[in-house]
Amino acid sequence: MYFAGVDIGSTMTKVVIMDEEVISSIIGPTGPEHRRLANRVMEDALRQIGIPFDEIAYVVATGYGRINVPFADKQITEITCHAKGVNSLFPTVRTAIDIGGQDAKGIKIVNGKVTGFIMNDKCAAGTGRFLEVMAEVLGLELDQMGELSMKSRNKVKISSTCTVFAEQEVISRIADGALLEDILAGLHDAIASRVYRMVQRLKIERDVVVTGGVAKNTGVVKALENYLGFPVLVPEEPLLTGAIGAALIGRELTQKALESGQPIETKVRRLEAATFFK
């Protein structure tokens, strides 16, 4: 049996199809038309492994755009799905730090269950959007920032974590002749400091995993490790934990139904979706 998780985030949309393990995954940018996007990425994931949509036993949607997945059987919050996905990859993890495009989250996890969480979703500071703005100011691609910052020998202090004021501060530092790598190291430290102070309210416990798009930035990860005082874990693909967790929850719901002899509760509109995907 196959199960799918669809995670529509603020900047990226992810789809995972699995049986006993992940057999297909797609990552693409989130656009304004969530429903059409969800259909397209699911279609791409199905094409990747050559199976029709009606062979998917259960679909769980998560992320802030989860209500816009018309073929989903259930919508579940990203906090729950991230915890489930992280636990499947790293069973020893007790604290997850997820830094996405528009928010940052801290999640306490015990046996795949959420025991506490905290979120910054009101400000771009400490998120991927902060890095995007700074990359534009510095004329860099996002994937250049991490490695370049690792060359820093004299980190520039960025005193403001507000995206607007930090942008002005970076421009001022450039005018003063500061090295690019030192500015980047300062920006990464500013993000790490803000995220660390937020998650610390949960009483951080090891092991710690960092997920989300910003986890691909080695400079931010290293800065977080400096604040924590120990190494963190990073998934091979840090964007997929929510979608993996969603698919796993779909599998669990299906297995429980089968074991109890109850019908699997899928939505009638799945029939229309199945026709669409043929």
201 and 106 inside one domain: yes
Tell me: the pLDDT tens digits for 232-263?
999 999 999 999 999 999 999 999 998 988 87
User: What average pLDDT does range 105-110 have in this prediction?
Assistant: 97
Burial 131-152 (b: 16+ CB within 10 A, else e): bbbbbebbeeebeebbebbeeb
Which 8-state DSSP code applies to residue 64? Answer: T
User: What average pLDDT does range 195-215 have in this prediction?
Assistant: 96
- Indicate the pLDDT class of residue 278, thresholds 50, 70 and 90: low
247 and 135 inside one domain: no
pLDDT number for residue 182:
98
224 and 114 inside one domain: yes
Count of domains in the chain? Answer: 2
100 and 224 inside one domain: yes
Whether 84 has a pLDDT exceeding 90, the answer reads yes
CATH number of the domain enclosing 52: 3.30.420.40
CB pairs under 8 A, 24+ apart, for 234-237?
234/209, 234/210, 235/86, 235/89, 235/90, 235/209, 235/211, 237/25, 237/27
Tell me: the pLDDT tens digits for 134-177?
999 999 999 999 999 999 999 999 987 788 888 999 999 999 99
21 and 108 inside one domain: no
pLDDT number for residue 185:
97
Tell me: the pLDDT tens digits for 7-56?
999 889 999 999 999 999 999 988 777 777 888 999 999 999 999 999 99
68 and 37 inside one domain: yes
- Indicate the pLDDT class of residue 188, thresholds 50, 70 and 90: very high
pLDDT number for residue 37:
82
Residues in a beta bridge with 16: 5, 25
pLDDT number for residue 270:
56
Determine the Cα–Cα distance for residues 261 and 250; give it in Å rounded to an integer: 17
Whether 110 has a pLDDT exceeding 90, the answer reads yes
pLDDT number for residue 275:
55
Q: Which two tokens stand for residue 17?
A: 């199809």
Whether 124 has a pLDDT exceeding 90, the answer reads no
Tell me if 88 is assigned to some domain. no
141 and 217 inside one domain: yes
Domain range for 196: 94-228
User: What average pLDDT does range 93-115 have in this prediction?
Assistant: 95
Determine the Cα–Cα distance for residues 153 and 55; give it in Å rounded to an integer: 55
Whether 220 has a pLDDT exceeding 80, the answer reads yes
- CB neighbours of residue 70 within 10 Å: 17
170 and 193 inside one domain: yes
55 and 160 inside one domain: no
